[in-house]
Structure 1
Amino acid sequence: MIHVLHRTPRTPRTTRSHPVHGVRRRPVRSLALLAAGGLIVAACGGGGGDEESAVTTTEAPAPTTTEAAVTSTTSAPTTTATADTDTPTTVAEAGPTFALTGLPLTDEALAARPALVAKIDNHPQARPQFGLNRADIVFEENVENLTRFAAVFHSQDPGRIGPIRSGRTQDVDLLGSFSEPLFVWSGGNPAVTRAINDSDLVGLSPSTTRNVGFFRDQRPGVDREHTLFGTTTEFWMNFTPIFNPPPTPQFEYRAPDEAFNGEQASGVELEMDGLDVRWTWDRDNAAYLREQDGEPHFDDLGQVNTQNVVVLEVEYRPSPADSRSPEAQTIGTGTAYVFTGGALIRGTWTRDDRTQPFTLTDENGSVIALTPGRTWVELPRIGNTTPLT
C-alpha cells in the first residue's frame, strides 16, 4: 500500500507555472521533484499531418534523475527459484511500494505525484527512443501500419523522453485507469483533439503548454515529425494540477518467496501491424529483452527490457476520428498471456469500465500476480501471439 502525502492546496508560483490552454481549466501548481537515493544518470543528448508544428528550441536539457537501469537491462531485484517452474521469480521487500511497479517505496513525494503518459514514436527514424527503459508501464498499440507506445512514468524521472507523437482515440479508454494522468502528446486531428480535451486526461502538447517542456532535436536524415522531445521534470514541475491524485495499482504483484504456477517459456513473438516483435527471457538479468523485425531494440540506456510482458489480445475497429486509424477495444474481455519470471501464465483479461485497470485471471479463475518491476503491455490483434518454449 502506498503512503501518500497529505497536501494542502496552495496558490501556484507564477514564476514557474504556466497555464494550460485549450483543455479543461484546473488549478496548477509547481512540484519540486525530490530524487530518490541512488545513481544520477544523464540521458544521451500515423499521420504526420496531424502533428503540431510549434516548438523551435533545439538544445536538449540535461535531465537529473534517479536511475536503476544498466546498459542491457534494469538492475534486477533479488531472485529465487519458484517451486512450480524452476524459473526465477523476484522477491518483493515488505513495506510500502510504488503503485505501478510493486517495488519498495523510496520517496513519498514521488509516489504522491500523478502519472505522466507520453505518446512515443516507433517509426524507424525515431529509434533509438529516449525513456522507454525508465517507464513503469509501456503499452504498445497498433496505429497505421506501425506501432506507437504509451509510456507511463511515475516512480522514475528520465528527463528527456521521445520522440513525442500524436494521440489516438483509443488512448482515452486505454489510459482512463491512471487517475487523470498528464498526457504528453504532439497534438492530433480535430476529432482526436476533441476526444482528448473532453476526457479526464490532462493534455500537454506544444500548443497547450506554449512549448514549455518541449524541444526539437533535428538530426540529419530525420523528418521533422520525428524530432519532438519532452522533459518529464518540466511537465511535472509546471503542469501538475493541485488535486490530481497519484495512480492506483494496475496489477497484482507476488509477495516475498511466493511461488506461482506457470509453464516454462523462453519468450513470445507478436505480429503487430507492420512490425514483428520478440521478447526473450534473459535469466542472468531476470528480464525480457526486446527485438523488432529481427534486430535488438534500443533506447538511450541500452536494449529495451522489462520484468513482465503482458499480452492482451484485442479487437481493433476503425476509429470514429479517422476510419484509416485502428482503435483498440480495451473494455470487455479477451485472451491474456502473462510472461513473468521466465514462465508463461495463460488466462483472460477483463475490464468493465475505462476507469478500471485490467483484471488478469488464470485458467482457474485466480488473479495473476506479476514480478515486482516494470511491465510492457502488448495489444496485438486476436490470434497474433506465439509463445516460445
Structure 2
Amino acid sequence: MGRSVRVRCAASAVALLAALATATLAAGCTARHGTVDDGQDGKGETPRPVQVLPQTPAPSPEHAGPVLAVKIDNVGAARPQTGLDAADIVYAEQVEGGLSRLMAVYATRLPPVVGPVRSARESDLELLRQFDRPTLAFSGAQKKLLPLIEAAPLTPGTPDNKPDAYFRGTAKPAPHNLYLRPDKLLGSAPGADALTTGFHYGPAPAGGRAETSRTVRYPAARFTFTWSAGRHGWKVAMDGRRTVTTDGRQVVPATVVVQHMKVRTSDLHDALGNYTPYTETVGSGKAEVLRDGRVYDATWKRPSAAGGTRFTAADGTDVNFARGQVWVVFTPAR
C-alpha cells in the first residue's frame, strides 16, 4: 500500500472514531419528561460505595451546561444516603408533618449514584430559578404541582421519562430505595460556573464569634453541626445521629448557613391532607454563616427569583464562604 493510501485510511479512521464519540455523548444527554408516584414498588441492585474527593468549588473555564438538583429522602428509613458528600450545595427544607427533605445540587462532579430520590415540592421551583435551566431529579409530585413543573424553566428527570437512570436498591424498603445514576441525566459535570447562587467564597470575614455547635430544629426533625478542626468543617448529625453515606463517610461541609425565612402554608397537600410548607426564598432576612469554627451574623437578600442570594455583614460587605461543600438550612423566621 502506498504512502498516500495509508494517510487516507488513517484520516478515515480518525473521522469514524470522532463520529462515534459524538453519537455516544448525544445519546447520554437525551431526556424526556414524566413522573411516577413515591410509592412505586420494585427491586434492583444495592448502591455501591462512592469514592469522592474533598469539595473545592472554583471557577471553571466555561459554563458547560445545567446543574443537577436531586430531591433526597431524609426520614430515618432512608438513611444512610448515597452521594450526599459529593454535592456542592445541600439545601434542607421543612416538609409535611414537620419532617425534613434535602435538595442536593451537583456541578463540579457527578457521583456514580445518588439517593434515595423522593418527590418535589412547590417551593423547589422558586429556589431553582437561580440556575440556568437546571435538571431536577425527583420521583413524583402532587398532581396539581405537575403542570407547574412542566411550565417551569427546568428539565425534569424522572423514572418515567428516564427509566434507565434509576434503579431500586435492595437494602431499604420502598419508597426509600429509589436511586439515580447522575451520568444518565447529564453527560458531564457542568463546572462551578453553573452555580449561579450569589455565594461568595474567600478569606474569613472579620469579627464573628467562636461557636463549636449549632442545632436547627423542625417540629419533627433536627440538624446539628459540630465544628471539627481536624476535618476543617462541620460534622453533620440529623435527628441525633451522625450523618454518613452508605460507604461510611462522614458528611462534613466547610460552610453552614442558617437562613431565616418566611414559611407559609402552600395550597397543596399530601394524600393524608397535610398541607405543604412553602419556604419563600425570594426576599430578605437574617442569617448566620458558620465557617472555621466561628459564626457570622448576616443579612440575606434575593430580590428576584431569577437571581442568587447575597449574604452581607452589617457594613454591607459580602460574607465569604469557605471553599468546599455548603449546607443551607431553611428555618422559619421568628
Give the shorter-chain TM-score range: 0.7 to 0.9
Aligned residue runs from structure 1 range 44-55, under 5 A:
50-51=37-38, 53=40
Does 2:307 align with 1:360? no
Does 2:284 align with 1:340? no
What residue number does 1:371 align with?
A: 322
Aligned residue runs from structure 1 range 76-155, under 5 A:
102-103=57-58, 105=60, 112-144=64-96, 145-155=98-108
Shift of 1:64: 8.0
Q: Separation in 2 of the partners of 1:131 and 1:213?
A: 15
State the one-letter code of the partner of 1:58.
G
Deviations 1:153-201, CA, capped at 9 Å, x for gaps: 1112211100000000010011211211110000112112112111112
When Rg is computed on C-alpha atoms for both structures, the one with the higher figure is 2
Q: Separation in 1 of the partners of 2:153 and 2:48?
A: 31
What residue number does 1:58 align with?
A: 44
Shift of 1:237: 2.5
CA contact (8 A) 1:52 1:206 kept: no
Deviations 1:110-152, CA, capped at 9 Å, x for gaps: x623210000000111000011111000000000121000000
CA RMSD of aligned residues (A): 2.7
Aligned pair count reads: 305
Structure 1 residues 194, 273: CA separation in 2 closer, same or farther (over 3 Å shift)?
Answer: farther
TM-score by length of 2: 0.83
What residue number does 1:279 align with?
A: 225
7, 17, 20: which is aligned to 2:32?
Answer: 20
Q: Separation in 2 of the partners of 1:295 and 1:315?
A: 28
CA contact (8 A) 1:213 1:234 kept: yes
CA contact (8 A) 2:131 2:195 kept: yes
Shift of 1:261: 2.4
Does 2:168 align with 1:216? yes
What residue number does 1:246 align with?
A: 194
Does 2:198 align with 1:198? no
CA contact (8 A) 1:267 1:339 kept: no
What residue number does 1:160 align with?
A: 113
State the one-letter code of the partner of 1:320.
D
Does 2:260 align with 1:313? yes
What residue number does 2:17 align with?
A: none
Does 2:251 align with 1:304? yes
What residue number does 1:4 align with?
A: none
Does 2:328 align with 1:380? no
Does 2:188 align with 1:176? no
Q: Separation in 1 of the partners of 2:39 and 2:150?
A: 15
Shift of 1:102: 3.9
State the one-letter code of the partner of 1:248.
T
Equivalent residue of 1:306, what SS?
coil
The structure where helix makes up a greater share of residues is: 2
State the one-letter code of the partner of 1:277.
F
Q: Separation in 2 of the partners of 1:123 and 1:333?
A: 29
TM-score by length of 1: 0.72
Deviations 1:31-67, CA, capped at 9 Å, x for gaps: xxxxxxxxxxxxxxxxxx952637x4612576887x2
Residue identity (%): 27
Shift of 1:269: 1.1
Structure 1 residues 227, 351: CA separation in 2 closer, same or farther (over 3 Å shift)?
Answer: same
Q: What 5-or-longer segments of structure 1 have no aligned partner?
A: 1-9, 24-48, 75-100, 384-389
Q: Separation in 1 of the partners of 2:259 and 2:315?
A: 18
Structure 1 residues 233, 265: CA separation in 2 closer, same or farther (over 3 Å shift)?
Answer: same
State the one-letter code of the partner of 2:249.
G
Q: Separation in 1 of the partners of 2:116 and 2:268?
A: 23
Q: What 5-or-longer segments of structure 2 have no aligned partner?
A: 1-21
Q: Separation in 1 of the partners of 2:118 and 2:288?
A: 28
Q: Separation in 2 of the partners of 1:307 and 1:158?
A: 19
What residue number does 2:11 align with?
A: none
State the one-letter code of the partner of 1:133.
D
Runs of 4+ more than 6 Å apart:
10-14
CA contact (8 A) 1:59 1:217 kept: yes
CA contact (8 A) 1:278 1:292 kept: yes
Q: Separation in 2 of the partners of 1:297 and 1:64?
A: 15
Q: Separation in 2 of the partners of 1:281 and 1:130?
A: 23
Structure 1 residues 19, 346: CA separation in 2 closer, same or farther (over 3 Å shift)?
Answer: closer
Shift of 1:13: 6.2
What residue number does 1:68 align with?
A: 53
